[in-house]
Amino acid sequence: SLSDSLDSAFKNLRGQGKISEKNISDALREVRLALLEADVDFTVAKKFIANVKEQALGEKVMKSVKPSELIVKIFHDELTALLGGDNEPLDLTPPARIMMVGLNGAGKTTTSAKLAARLKKEGRRPLLVACDLYRPAAIDQLATLAKQIDVPVYTPDASETDLVKVAKDSLKWAEGQNGTLMIFDTAGRQEIDEKLIGELKELHNFLAPKETLLVADAATGQQAVSVANHFDEAVGITGIVLTKLDGDARGGAALSMRTITGKPIKYAGEGEKIEDFTEFHPERMAGRILDMGDVVSMVEHVADKIDEKEAMKAAERMQSGKFDFNDFLSQMKMIRSLGPLDGLLNMLPGMKKLKKQLPSDALNTDKMKHMEAIVLSMTPKERERPEIIKGTRRKRIAMGSGTSVLEVNRLLKQFGEMRKMMRSKGKMKQMMKQMGGME
Ligand code: GDP
Ligand code: MG
């Protein structure tokens, strides 16, 4: 799937010690293939890759501590933009009318009911109108759904053939219903044809709906996009509902839809049941495609709090074996500024394993405060050269920090072990790799 291909491209990037133009290009080639395979329009894929590349090769990324993580974030942001940025709500100012259009089987009738149920939940009073005069079963289908969600529905006689008359009658009916908005379910065809379009145009002219939503089956990929264009030319659509996203592992339609039609995707159908319906949020969809959940917000969070220069300096000192208690102190401050650590670390790939290797209380914030207090009670000389901290000094530090000699001893021992580990370069490298490619 698209998620898997992206994941493998990112893994390759992370595996590289340094990020270069070459390995970014390699990764992006992989991504472009994945996009095309997911049935994303060729020009859309090309433009997308160009945008990502331009940013990924920017100075800020190349000089950062974890370029690969930043590149994932660039992907996320670009995907979000591609999918339409922010969610766009419906225009429901009175007289609020929503006309649903689309091919047969796309999910118009189901979506009409889903949308009605959702708007009802938001405190509005929707009314449903059955305007599919070609299939009597379609009228029954909407009536059944309406009953299920307890929303009033207007159903014409099975013999009725004049669509505009049905619409007129429904408006009269609505006057006695105390509704605040109307949803019109219409007929479709297997393919777009002139007769259907002519009828829909007439209905559209009569209703002058504020919203005309194209219901499109996401699983049909690029076909869904061209259908959207056709309907837009014919009646002018204001938004798109992508259905059957639950069954579409490729996700290509969603990615091309916005760019090519210029219309926002407003809702997503994710199953056959009434509840399987959500507002479409480009950012969440991007996260889902990248299959990364919280990693994005974590990267933002960390990038926000960590002073990159500071972190680089610390890493250099660690590797050169010059790490002392002053470095320790600034690292503790940095780590503490990130907030609750356990949750944060769990978001990182590979972190579970690393956590097992840390001292059991290393992530306990109370313990960390104690450790900080101990270090703060040391003299500058002691911080620089911990080996001079012997018996009386330990007692003084314990007194000054409000801890015990036992705790001071333990910290000194842990610190000694940390230093030893840092000095053996092999282990250091291993640890850094597990942290996600920081060298
Ligand atoms: P219409 O011809 O456009 O009115 O399409 P329908 O509303 O009758 O839906 C056609 C079929 O698609 C029905 O079996 C629906 O249950 C199914 N369907 C609609 N939306 C979704 C969706 O989001 N996910 C899935 N899995 N099925 C859907
Ligand atoms: Mg229908």
Per-residue pLDDT of the chain (439 residues; tens, 9 = 90+): 677 777 777 777 766 656 678 878 888 888 888 888 878 888 998 999 999 888 888 777 767 666 777 777 888 889 889 888 877 889 999 999 999 999 999 999 999 999 999 999 999 999 999 999 988 899 999 999 999 999 999 999 989 999 999 999 999 999 999 999 999 999 998 888 889 999 999 999 999 999 999 999 988 888 889 999 999 999 999 999 999 987 765 667 888 888 899 999 999 998 999 998 988 888 877 877 775 444 444 454 555 555 656 666 666 666 666 778 887 777 677 666 655 555 444 444 334 444 454 555 555 667 777 888 899 999 989 999 998 999 899 999 999 999 999 999 988 988 887 777 666 654 545 554 444 433 3
| The token pair that represents 59 in the structure block | 């100075």
- Per the annotation, does 315 bind a ligand? no
Same domain membership, residue 50 and residue 103 = no
Q: Domain check: are 69 and 109 in the same one? A: no
* Both tokens assigned to 302: 């960390």
**Nearest Cα residue to 188 out of 165, 217, 211:** 217
Nearest CA to ligand 1 atom 27: 272
Of the ligands numbered here, which is closest to the C-alpha atom of 275?
1
Sheet holding 211-217, edge to edge: 153-154, 126-131, 181-186, 96-101, 211-217, 239-243, 265-269, 277-279
- Residue owning the nearest CA to atom 5 of ligand 1: 107
266, 304, 299, 303: which is closest to 285 by C-alpha? 266
Q: Which two tokens stand for residue 221?
A: 């990929």
For ligand 1, whether the C-beta of 209 sits within 6 Å is no
CA atoms within 13 Å, Cβ hemisphere of 51: 15
Which residues form the domain of 377? 306-434
Does the Cβ of 275 fall within 6 Å of ligand 1?
no
Question: Are 375 and 424 contained in the same domain?
Answer: yes
The reply to whether 90 falls in a domain is no
Q: Is residue 117 part of a domain?
A: yes
- CATH number for the domain harbouring residue 72: 1.20.120.140
The kind and range of the H/E element at 96 are strand 96-101
Q: Best mutation site among 272, 276, 279 for ligand 1, i.e. most ligand atoms within 8 A of its Cβ?
A: 272
181 falls within a domain: yes
Q: Is residue 122 part of a domain?
A: yes
**What secondary structure, in 3-state letters, does 262-298 show?**
CCCEEEEECCCCCCCEEECCHHHHHHHHHCCCCHHHH
For the domain that residue 335 is a member of, what is the CATH number? 1.10.260.30
- Contact 218 CB / ligand 1 (< 6 Å): no
Q: Where a domain ends, among 256, 271, 297?
A: 297
Give me 183's structure tokens: 């949803």
Domain closes at, from 237, 271, 297: 297
Q: Which ligand is nearest to the CA of 110?
A: 1
Q: Within this chain, do residues 244 and 390 fall inside the same structural domain, yes or no? A: no
Verify that 249 and 395 share a domain, yes or no. Answer: no
Strand intervals (E) in 169-308: 181-186, 211-217, 239-243, 265-269, 277-279
* Shared-domain flag, residues 112 and 44: no
Whether residues 237 and 340 fall in one domain: no
Tell which atom from ligand 1 comes closest to the C-alpha of 215.
Answer: 3
Residues 341 and 413 in one domain: yes
Atom number of ligand 1 nearest to Cα 245: 23
Q: How many whole angstroms separate alpha carbon 126 and alpha carbon 103?
A: 24
229 belongs to an annotated ligand binding site: no
Same domain, 153 and 227: yes
Q: Is the ipTM value over 0.85, yes or no?
A: yes
In short, whether 107's Cβ falls inside 6 Å of ligand 1 is: yes
Of 110, 243, 245, best ligand 1 pocket probe by most atoms within 8 Å of the beta carbon: 110
User: Is the CB–ligand 1 distance for residue 15 below 6 Å?
Assistant: no
Same domain for 152 and 257, yes or no, is: yes
Domains held by the chain: number: 3
Rounded to whole angstroms, the Cα distance separating 32 from 207 reads 43
Q: Does residue 289 contact residue 250 with C-beta atoms inside 8 Å?
A: no
Cα angle 111, 281, 225; round to 5: 60
347 and 404 in one domain? yes
Q: Which of 412, 418, 413, 336 is nearest to 378 (CA)?
A: 412
